[in-house]
Chains A and B, each alone.
Chain A
Amino acid sequence: TKDHQEKQVYIVYMGSLPSRADYTPMSNHVSILQEITGESSIEGRLVRSYKRSFNGFAARLTESERQLVANMEGVVSVFPNKKLKLQ
């Protein structure tokens, strides 16, 4: 999952979906990514957005971006995209 810019896919877990009617998970995920990367275009950064049953996203981040997002309000945990196995 590493690319040439030393970015790695991380899961940003944000818990339950807020019950506010005006909350749109995808826009929130994009805003967070824009904020931590300082880039207006997040093309290639957002891998997945979790928005139907809980809140979070998977994104390509550098180590410093990972630290930034981990300290943001609303983020429960940030962890590398691990590989599990069939048993």
Chain B
Amino acid sequence: TTASWDFMGLKEGNKTNRNLSVESDTIIGVFDGGIWPESESFSDKGFGPPPKKWKGICAGGNNFTCNNKLIGARHYAPGNATDSSGHGTHTASIAAGNAVAKTSFFGLGYGTVRGAVPASRIAAYKVCDGECKDDYILSAFDDAIADGVDIITISIGDINVYPFEKDPIAIGAFHAMSKGILTVNAAGNTGPYTASIASLAPWMLTVAASTTNRVFVNKVVLGDGKTLVGNSLNTFDLKGEKFPLVYGKSAASSASEVKCAEDCTPNCLDASLVKGNILVCNIFLPYVAYTTGAVACIFKDGSDWAQIEGIPVSGLQEDDFESLLSYIKSTNSPKAAVLKSETVFNQPAPKILSFSSRGPNIIAADILKPDVTAPGLEILAANSHKALPFYDNTHVKYTVESGTSMSCPHVAGVAAYVKTFHPKWSPSMIKSAIMTTAWSMNASETRYASTEFAYGAGHVDPIAATNPGLVYDSAKADYIAFLCGMNYNATTMKLISGEAVTCTEKSLPRNLNYPSMSTKLSRSYSSFSVTFSRTVTNVGTPNSTYKSKVVLNHGSKLNVKVSPSVLSMKSLNEKQSFTVTVSGSDLDSKLPSSANLIWSDGTHNVRSPIVVYAG
């Protein structure tokens, strides 16, 4: 967060407009693996007593204390609410941690760590202790809704997809939404595979993960002076000293193990040949590097993210790795120095990360998921004293982690920030504001999973989200109609909603008043025409005229007609409806076709992606 908020334009301190009195009354419910109350990110210096609306308690268990920043805690897993993995501390501080200056991870990422809403309060609900059981998660929703939290951030998910009525996060988020609480959920880390996303309910805000302009790189200086650049998180400073390089297959424990030694597979290496040298591997297995006594490890790394390791490492992209192997072959005594990582800020960004789960939505095919993306790469944030980054005795107050777990609380924090300016807005209005003001993103690759199915509406823009102009609002009744349209019967709907429901006029799921528009064609028609119905609410200027504009994405053959094409608003909170008819023929069955609808009054640009796909 020393870079991620700046990247999004949410500047530190007075450089960002804030409604501090409301922010101080805002409570973020963090469902995670607990929290480390002693972190400076959760110090209550300068905080008054909890907001009057707070009805929760501090029931964190033995030796767990709350304060006026961390105002509540509950634990459902055995033990107490103390965070042992560091994950809950990290996510809580991303959303709502205090601003703590001069922070770094062994010098890396130096700056001020902070949440989106540093003046807000945190309530921690420990639902994970290694695993996060459904009954814990539902208990946390049951409590947090009644406790009076404003926003819920839950960086938890499954690799499997379940119908909404069997998905604890969808169930809990529905009841949260009914009480005016927005739930923000991580998209998952099972990308880039098609339809890998499991956070699918339209009443939640689902967050993908992307890069910022900052990245950690580390250099490998070869004996011949050539420098290669890896994208690893190496905190160890070997002072530029060069050590002999040993390629795995040269250190095979026997002639029959040469192939597996190339990959540095356990038991394939002769530790006596590796000890004190830099081990070079096709695949990095930290355990092997540690147990063979390597001084460092260089490996072939095709991934776009790095994690903390307990020894000096450098992961090289394939071309650089091949250069390294050529160098090793070319000399009798190959040597190299593995340098400590450096921070660079010149990366083209945002780019969606490979691990971020992809759509389409296989439960509600006409709801685009994920909804938005946010920073999820190498985020520096608070750590638990119990979480040891190197699995030794090294304690760190702040650490670096990657995942949709990290992007999720960024958006939860933004949702809370928006809510401080618009305390009466419904969850769907806040969600709409975030989605329709998001930065537009382009597919970084041409594959199916690198489209809107990767990033949704685009990259969150915190400042723009406070002033969206128009919002797509959906109330509980709209979601009930949506569920009726998904063939849930009236009896089930009555139980879920607590009210009598008539499912006679079946609403098409694609007509839910959602800030994005998506539909799955039942097959690759030679020609098709589908209509989306939407209603916008004016939250910008009382007297305003919005003109529609449709921008087709590269290669799209869609015809899009908006009716009416101009909306004249006379007052605030005025609602006006329109339809979007999308037609086309011979769509690519392997790629979605997309466009953007933009309503603009000259000041506000309200953008919705339109995605049509087949198969």
Q: CB-CB contacts of A43-78 with B at 8 A, as 1s and 0s? A: 000011011111010100000000000000011110
B141 at the interface (CB under 8 A from A): yes
User: How far does the Cβ of B125 sit from chain A's closest Cβ, in whole Å?
Assistant: 13
User: How far does the Cβ of A10 sit from chain B's closest Cβ, in whole Å?
Assistant: 9
Cα(A45)–Cα(B193), bound, Å: 40
Q: State whether A87 and B138 are in contact (beta carbons under 8 Å apart), knowing that A16-B496, A19-B498, A77-B165 are contacts in the complex.
A: no
User: How far does the Cβ of A86 sit from chain B's closest Cβ, in whole Å?
Assistant: 5
Report which of B159, B188, B498 forms a contact with A16, defined as CB distance below 8 A: B498
Q: State whether A81 and B145 are in contact (beta carbons under 8 Å apart), knowing that A11-B168, A87-B188 are contacts in the complex.
A: no
* Residue contact A84 to B492, C-beta cutoff 8 Å: no
A9 at the interface (CB under 8 A from B): yes
Q: State whether A11 and B142 are in contact (beta carbons under 8 Å apart), knowing that A54-B171, A76-B496, A86-B405 are contacts in the complex.
A: no
The number of inter-chain residue pairs (CB within 8 angstroms) is: 119
User: How far does the Cβ of A67 sit from chain B's closest Cβ, in whole Å?
Assistant: 15
B156 at the interface (CB under 8 A from A): yes
Within 117-131 of B, Cβ neighbours of A (below 8 Å) are at 128, 131
Closest to A83 in B: B131
Query: What residues of chain B lie closer than 8 Å to A4, measured between beta carbons?
Result: none
Count of chain B residues near A, Cβ 8 A: 51
Q: State whether A86 and B32 are in contact (beta carbons under 8 Å apart), knowing that A15-B495, A15-B497, A18-B498 are contacts in the complex.
A: yes
User: How far does the Cβ of B406 sit from chain A's closest Cβ, in whole Å?
Assistant: 9
Query: What residues of chain B lie closer than 8 Å to A19, measured between beta carbons?
Result: 498
Closest to B405 in A: A87
* Residue contact B171 to A85, C-beta cutoff 8 Å: no
* Residue contact A58 to B155, C-beta cutoff 8 Å: no
Closest to A19 in B: B498
* Residue contact A76 to B134, C-beta cutoff 8 Å: no
User: How far does the Cβ of B376 sit from chain A's closest Cβ, in whole Å?
Assistant: 9
Report which of B85, B168, B495, B498 forms a contact with A86, defined as CB distance below 8 A: B85
A36 at the interface (CB under 8 A from B): no
Within 442-457 of B, Cβ neighbours of A (below 8 Å) are at none
Q: State whether A84 and B171 are in contact (beta carbons under 8 Å apart), knowing that A50-B138, A53-B146 are contacts in the complex.
A: no
Within 51-104 of B, Cβ neighbours of A (below 8 Å) are at 85, 87
* Residue contact A48 to B165, C-beta cutoff 8 Å: no
B418 at the interface (CB under 8 A from A): no
* Residue contact B158 to A13, C-beta cutoff 8 Å: no
Cα(A54)–Cα(B497), bound, Å: 10
Of A17, A54, A74, chain B has the most CB atoms within 10 Å of the CB of A54
Cα(A72)–Cα(B40), bound, Å: 51
Within 30-46 of A, Cβ neighbours of B (below 8 Å) are at none
Cα(A82)–Cα(B132), bound, Å: 8
Query: What residues of chain A lie closer than 8 Å to B128, measured between beta carbons?
Result: 84-86
Q: State whether A87 and B155 are in contact (beta carbons under 8 Å apart), knowing that A50-B142, A53-B175 are contacts in the complex.
A: yes
Cα(A22)–Cα(B227), bound, Å: 76
* Residue contact A48 to B139, C-beta cutoff 8 Å: yes
* Residue contact A81 to B498, C-beta cutoff 8 Å: no
* Residue contact B33 to A86, C-beta cutoff 8 Å: yes
* Residue contact A53 to B141, C-beta cutoff 8 Å: yes
A14 at the interface (CB under 8 A from B): yes
B15 at the interface (CB under 8 A from A): no
* Residue contact B142 to A53, C-beta cutoff 8 Å: yes
Query: What residues of chain B lie closer than 8 Å to A75, measured between beta carbons?
Result: 495
Cα(A87)–Cα(B168), bound, Å: 16
* Residue contact A11 to B156, C-beta cutoff 8 Å: no
Between-chain CB contacts (< 8 Å), 18 pairs: A11-B134, A13-B165, A15-B492, A15-B497, A16-B178, A16-B499, A50-B139, A53-B141, A53-B146, A56-B138, A58-B135, A81-B133, A82-B133, A83-B134, A84-B168, A87-B155, A87-B186, A87-B187
* Residue contact B165 to A86, C-beta cutoff 8 Å: no
B143 at the interface (CB under 8 A from A): yes
Query: What residues of chain A lie closer than 8 Å to B141, measured between beta carbons?
Result: 53-54
Closest to A84 in B: B132
